[in-house]
Amino acid sequence: MKRVAFKTLALKALGLIALLSLAAPSAQAQSIVPPSQHEGDERLEIGMNTSQIAITPDFAGTDLAIFGAVVNADELLNSIGQYDVVVSLEGPKDDATVRRKDRVFGIWINRQSMTFEQVPQSYTLSSTRKIEGQPGVPPLDAPGIGIGIDHIGLIPAGYMGSGDSLTEFRDAYKRLKKKSGLYQPDPGGVRFISSTLFQANLKLPANIPNGTHMVRATLFKSGKFVMEKTLPLRVVKTGLEQTITNAAHEQPVLYGMASVLLALITGWGASVMFRRD
Amino acid sequence: MTIYLPIAELSVNIFVILGMGAAVGFLSGMFGVGGGFLITPLLIFYNIPPVVAVATGANQVVASSVSGAITHFRRGTLDMKLGFILLAGGLAGATVGIWIFSLLRRLGQLDLVISLLYVVFLGFIGSLMLVESINAIRKTRKGVVTPRMAGQHPWIHRLPFKMRFKKSKIYLSVIPIILIGFGIGVLTSVMGVGGGFIMVPAMIYLLRVPTNVVVGTSLFQIIFTTAYTTVVQAATNYSVDIVLAFILMVAGVVGAQYGVRVGQKLRGEQLRALLALLVLAVGFRLFLQLVITPDDIYSLAIGGGAH
């Protein structure tokens, strides 16, 4: 009952072989070039078995596998695990409004609200280790945009107020998103299959939004940002339910008329079937 | 067996929805009410977003009022002329109602207003019905038959723009008719009800329309107001769930047929007392939802609208 139209295992294997062949010549090249000459020349290559996921109505979430290779890896650093890879899947962006209820005359009423502009509707992250770091291990951070749920830019629209409530609303936003399964971190979701080849598993939640998502893979050496690669992933919902949703949004008047017609036929049909007078 | 509701965006147990539709259909057949005022709160209890519950409720009422109106049309207990004037007010009211609905939704106060309106209306109507039916039960026990008092509303009959309604055998100003239609239209958009539970007493007591044409005429106007509301809700709020509506209406029209049969065998006062208790229970449950501390005081919605 897996609803994602994932290609077969055979395809995954093909992807792996393709990446292996990609990694192999570079390994050769490395053996020819003196290793000391090109330090910091390592590159990241990634690939997916599909650039589009079709989600059928009984979809209940799945894993997306992304393969990649660290090309020109420094063997010494690699052998002591100094390379880290973070792979994230960022959903399409939209505005989001957080509201807070307060008690007014005994009744709970939405009192305050804050709209965050153009935030990713979903965010899944997978990494070789915890990105926050720990004593003795530096955090993984990319320049500019940052990595991880805590770095998602939550910019309030036309907001005026104290910084306290801004923090509160941001925390509430992240908490609600995590609770709904749309934002999820998975430290340990990336593992090296060989010294340079890695596989990242990203969990796609059941309620994953439609649209173009962005796969972003980032390479770190000794906790320092080296480079990143991005790939688009289209998520397309299929089936009767999606046809209905599309109709409701693209042809709303016709859709409304169809709903009424259905009701008229049902009501009329019943009066014919159960006619007693 | 679960089914995914595309507009409500959640998976529900199809048998729960069928059961709800059948139960409300049964009650509406038994008591001769549309059932919209029970369907919408029940859907909200089942975690269907109120926006969708209201719009879909209106769509479901189209089906349940069509079969009733056809029956009345065949029997000749339907005043078309009166119905069309009510409808003119109803369409205007529904348009204003949709505007209010969209505004409340933008302000984030829609769920609150829907619940409050239901608490007030269900509480009020339920209490009135309960008192009336208990009095009636007492009187039948005592064996006293009191003729219904013919209350006077001279101001209504002094209004201008009078019109003759042959079928109803009344001569009446169109102003109160349009106003009643308008008020019901607003409620149809904001609450997802047909409004029969308000229109029927208003027509009997305020307009003095003969009881035999009241139900047919109100059903006739409800078809068009709810149909119009469904289309406008679909066009402005994209909130009509056709899958949910279809399950509800199929179960509803079947349930109604059995309700009618049972209703004919039971005593009127006792039936009304039962319905009153049910209406009060639903209202009380909604009231609790408003006053109990929510699990999470924060909520999240896609899109803008903060103020």
Whether residue B1 lies within 8 A of chain A, CB to CB, comes out as no
The answer to whether A151 and A144 are in contact (CB under 8 A) is no
Annotate A221-259 with b (16+ C-beta within 10 A) or e (fewer): beeebbebbeeebebebebebbebbebbeeebeebbbbb
- Please tell me the distance in Å from A250's CA to the nearest CA on chain B: 10
Interatomic CA distance for residues B200 and B126, integer angstroms: 15
The tens place of each residue's pLDDT in chain B, 307 residues long, gives: 788 888 888 888 999 999 999 999 888 888 777 788 889 999 998 989 999 999 999 999 999 888 888 888 888 888 888 999 999 999 999 999 999 999 998 888 888 999 999 999 999 988 988 998 888 888 877 765 555 545 556 677 777 778 888 777 888 888 889 999 999 999 999 998 888 878 888 888 788 888 778 888 888 899 999 999 999 999 998 999 999 999 999 999 888 888 888 877 777 777 778 888 988 999 999 999 888 888 888 888 877 654 4
- Please tell me the distance in Å from B68's CA to the nearest CA on chain A: 8
Residues in A touching B247 (Cβ below 8 Å): none
- Please tell me the distance in Å from A248's CA to the nearest CA on chain B: 6
Report which of B125, B249, B280, B252 is spatially closest to residue B187, judged by C-alpha positions.
B125
**Model confidence pLDDT, tens digit, residues A2-47:** 444 444 444 455 455 555 444 444 444 443 444 444 455 788 888 8
Interatomic CA distance for residues B185 and B219, integer angstroms: 13
pTM assigned to the model: 0.77
How far apart, in Å, are the Cα atoms of B137 and each of A17, B130, B272, B307?
84, 10, 10, 53
For B164-194, the DSSP string reads EETTTTEEEEHHHHHHHHHHHHHHHHHH---
Report which of A271, A225, A270 is spatially closest to residue B72, judged by C-alpha positions.
A271
Band the pLDDT of A202: cuts 50, 70, 90: confident
Interatomic CA distance for residues B185 and B92, integer angstroms: 7
B261 residue type, one letter: R
Whether residue A264 lies within 8 A of chain B, CB to CB, comes out as yes
The answer to whether B97 and B188 are in contact (CB under 8 A) is yes
Closest partner CB to B253 (pick from A94, A270, A277): A270
Domains of chain A: 9-238 (2.60.40.1930), 239-277 (no CATH)
Q: Name residues 125-164 of chain A within 8 A of B (Cβ).
A: 156-159
Instruction: Say if residue A233's pLDDT is above 70.
Output: yes
Whether residue B60 lies within 8 A of chain A, CB to CB, comes out as yes
Interatomic CA distance for residues B122 and B42, integer angstroms: 13
- Please tell me the distance in Å from B230's CA to the nearest CA on chain A: 6
pLDDT at B120: 93
**Model confidence pLDDT, tens digit, residues A144-186:** 667 777 777 787 877 666 667 888 888 898 889 888 888 887 7
Cβ pairs A/B, distance under 8 A: 180
Minimum CA–CA partner of B253 in chain A? A270
Minimum CA–CA partner of B113 in chain A? A109
Say which DSSP state A42 is in.
-
Report which of A185, A236, A238, A232 is spatially closest to residue A213, judged by C-alpha positions.
A232
Interatomic CA distance for residues B122 and B23, integer angstroms: 18
CB contact under 8 A, A255 and B240: yes
Rounded to an integer, the average pLDDT of A214-218 is: 90
Whether residue B40 lies within 8 A of chain A, CB to CB, comes out as no
Whether residue B218 lies within 8 A of chain A, CB to CB, comes out as no
Number of H helices, E strands in chain B: 11, 5
- Please tell me the distance in Å from B263's CA to the nearest CA on chain A: 16
**Model confidence pLDDT, tens digit, residues B146-162:** 555 455 566 777 777 78
CB contact under 8 A, A113 and B242: no
Closest partner CB to A263 (pick from B109, B235, B245): B245
pLDDT at A186: 72
B97: three-class secondary structure by DSSP: helix
- Would you kindly state where each structural domain of chain B is located, as residue ranges? 2-144+151-290
CB contact under 8 A, A110 and B62: no
Interatomic CA distance for residues B156 and B173, integer angstroms: 7
CB contact under 8 A, B299 and A176: yes
pLDDT above 70: percentage of residues in chain A: 79
**Model confidence pLDDT, tens digit, residues A84-114:** 888 989 899 888 888 888 888 888 888 888 8
pLDDT at A27: 40
**Model confidence pLDDT, tens digit, residues A45-65:** 888 877 888 877 777 777 888
Whether residue A166 lies within 8 A of chain B, CB to CB, comes out as no
Q: Count CB atoms within 10 A of the CB of residue A49.
A: 20
Whether residue A232 lies within 8 A of chain B, CB to CB, comes out as no
pLDDT at A207: 80
